């Protein structure tokens, strides 16, 4: 199974400027339509407002943010009680709605080549979890496929946690959750969490909980049509 390299991939932000920084790749989102070439977007790890000197948290902004390199451009998504835009603290006023979701000209370089991974079936993953990884621990990832707005999407992300039944429970299910991930709808990207409920190997529910641009709370729920939705588990070797 060919996947983006979420294990060793990385992102360099503010590339070509005096101060740059590195993060891992939190997720990769691909979309295509009518057999066209895939478009890709990538999400950075969460970063804090900070100065690079002997008082790093003396920064006037009180927020965290993630950066995304998307097929539409580069994006900063911020959340916190004291937002400061990329213009810096010298800006007279910062509109919280704009600062929370701001297209930026910051250079972002993503290194995330395709990499072979080993697919794990629903039964494989259920057995691994129920045995508490008695055969050795593997960090589980997932490729979530769905269709929306005329596009076919595939979200590649680590499984941050997975709900699963005790061996004595009759209902056979897995419910992995991950976040932060990228979710796109109507041309707008959202920082979100994703959850997939799978019963007897079939996807029964797929939802994204997105962050509200004004309250910064993950309060909005997007329920995706699961017709044709898939969840493929995989591990890197």
- pLDDT per position as a tens digit, 21-68: 999 999 999 999 988 999 999 999 998 888 899 999 988 888 888 999
Instruction: State the pLDDT at residue 49.
Output: 84
Residue 167 has pLDDT above 60, yes or no: yes
> Does the reported pTM lie above 0.85?
yes
Average pLDDT rounded to a whole number, residues 142-166: 96
**Alpha-carbon distances of 124 from 44, 121, 131, 235, rounded to whole Å:** 30, 5, 11, 11
* Residues 93-100, mean pLDDT to the nearest whole number: 68
Tens-digit pLDDT profile for residues 185-226: 999 999 999 999 999 999 999 999 998 877 788 889 999 999
- Rounded mean pLDDT, 1-13: 96
Structure-token match 């997932």, residue found: 142
pLDDT of residue 93 exceeding 70: no
Neighbours of 196 (CB within 10 A): 25
Q: Average pLDDT in the 111-127 region? A: 96
pLDDT at residue 237, as a whole number: 86
Task: Give the integer Cα–Cα distance in Å for 70 and 42.
Answer: 6
- Min mean pLDDT across 83-87, 173-177, 181-185 is at 83-87
Order of strands across the sheet that contains 218-223: 161-163, 173-185, 188-199, 202-211, 218-223
Q: What is the C-alpha to C-alpha distance for residues 198 and 206, in angstroms, rounded to an integer?
A: 9
CB contact burial 34-66 (16+ within 10 A = b; e otherwise)? eeeeeebbbbbeebebeeeeeeeeebebebebb
Residue 3 has pLDDT above 80, yes or no: yes
Q: What is the mean pLDDT of the chain?
A: 91
Q: Assess whether pLDDT exceeds 90 at residue 15.
A: no
CB atoms within 10 A of CB 91: 12
Please list the residues that pair with 69 across neighbouring strands.
42, 74
Q: What is the DSSP letter of 225?
A: P
Position 27 scores a pLDDT of 97
**Who wins on pLDDT, 85 or 163?**
163
> Whole-angstrom Cα distance, residue 180 to residue 203?
21
Averaged over 100-108, what is the pLDDT?
Answer: 89
Residue 91: pLDDT over 80? no
Predicted local confidence at residue 213, as pLDDT: 76
pLDDT at 145: 97
């Amino acid at each position: 199974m060919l996947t983006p390299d979420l294990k060793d991939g990385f992102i360099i932000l503010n590339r070509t400027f005096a101060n740059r920084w590195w993060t891992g790749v939190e997720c990769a989102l691909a979309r295509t339509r009518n057999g066209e070439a895939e478009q890709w977007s990538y999400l950075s790890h969460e970063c804090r407002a900070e100065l690079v000197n002997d008082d790093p948290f003396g920064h006037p902004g009180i927020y965290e943010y993630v950066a995304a390199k998307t097929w539409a451009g580069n994006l900063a998504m911020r959340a916190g009680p004291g937002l400061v835009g990329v213009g810096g603290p010298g800006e007279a006023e910062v509109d919280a709605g704009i600062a929370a979701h701001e297209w930026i000209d910051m250079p972002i370089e993503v290194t995330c080549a395709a990499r072979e991974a080993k697919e794990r079936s629903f039964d494989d993953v259920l057995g691994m979890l129920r045995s508490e990884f008695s055969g050795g621990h593997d960090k589980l990832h997932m490729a979530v496929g769905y269709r929306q707005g005329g596009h076919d999407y595939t979200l590649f992300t680590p499984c941050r946690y997975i709900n699963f039944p005790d061996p004595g429970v009759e209902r056979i299910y897995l419910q992995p959750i991950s976040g932060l991930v990228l979710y796109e709808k109507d041309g707008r990207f959202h920082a979100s969490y994703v959850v997939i409920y799978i019963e007897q190997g079939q996807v029964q529910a797929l939802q994204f909980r997105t962050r509200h641009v004004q309250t910064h709370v993950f309060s909005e729920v997007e329920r995706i049509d699961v017709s044709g939705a898939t969840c493929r588990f995989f591990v890197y070797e």
